[in-house]
Amino acid sequence: MNEPVLQLDAIDKTYNKGMPGEVCVLRGASVSVQPGEVVALVAPSGAGKSTLLHIAGLLDRPDAGRVAIGGAEMTGQSDRRRTATRRAEVGFVYQFHHLLPEFTALENIVLPQLAAGRRRGEAEARARDLLARVGVEARADHRPAELSGGEQQRVAFCRALANAPRLLLADEPTGNLDPATADRVFATLMELVRDTGLAALIATHNLELAARMDRQLHLEDGHLS
């Protein structure tokens, strides 16, 4: 089997540690995700799934445990090294698309590529290719307010994949959509993951969508099973 793209070993995380009212959200949580694998992270709201995703995506640090991306140890690395790895290796999708409202769909996908050093012509070509993959190429020059909820989330997927990451982390990516639109958007997400060979960890409380992924992890009382 290939080396995991994401490896979390014995992750602990407590908020307000040592203070009255401290909350332990992760207790020895471990998970690995292989290239091309789609893993569902199932938990109710407030159970700690967003915290786990933030630790996996190098946005937060655990109190204890090990984080590795593509076999590279990340836990003790500097903020600069973690930021560089996150920019190159990790794509994020959230429940709310967080597209920049003053920019078009195309520009929202071009901007992270420019930040990574890609030339504008190349960035625009990749953005148009990604939009075509998800069926919204005709909306490239529209701003987010001119797009439907499903179209906005498809553009958000494209933005997450703009710099060709190896790991996709998604936090309730269909949670703000009606059931029919959620189904179509999820199908698009799965197709993108399969086509690109990404490793994907997708947090959801939708058991029907979770059942369509390769396997499920359940987070309860800080423990993964």
Per-residue confidence band for 93, with pLDDT thresholds at 50, 70 and 90: confident
Say if CB 174 and CB 150 are below 8 A apart: no
- Compute the chain's Rg from CA coordinates: 17
Which ranges constitute the DSSP H helices of 66-178?
79-89, 105-115, 120-133, 149-161
Residue 120, domain member (yes or no): yes
Residue 187, domain member (yes or no): yes
Say if CB 89 and CB 82 are below 8 A apart: no
Residue 114, domain member (yes or no): yes
Residue 181, domain member (yes or no): yes
In this structure, what CATH number is given to the domain that contains residue 133? Answer: 3.40.50.300
pLDDT of residue 1: 53
pLDDT of residue 175: 74
Identify the domain containing residue 132 by its residue range: 35-60+89-217
Neighbours of 65 (CB within 10 A): 18
Of 12, 3, 11, nearest to 33 by C-alpha is 3
pLDDT of residue 52: 93
pLDDT of residue 20: 72
Residue 84, domain member (yes or no): no
User: Structure pTM?
Assistant: 0.88
Residue 78, domain member (yes or no): no
Say if CB 32 and CB 96 are below 8 A apart: no
Residue 9, domain member (yes or no): no
Total count of domains within the chain? 1
Token output for 69: 């991306």
Tens of pLDDT, residues 159-217: 999 999 999 999 888 777 778 778 877 887 788 888 888 999 999 888 888 999 999 99
Residue 29, domain member (yes or no): no
Tens of pLDDT, residues 142-159: 999 999 988 998 899 899
Paired strand residues for 154: none
pLDDT of residue 214: 93
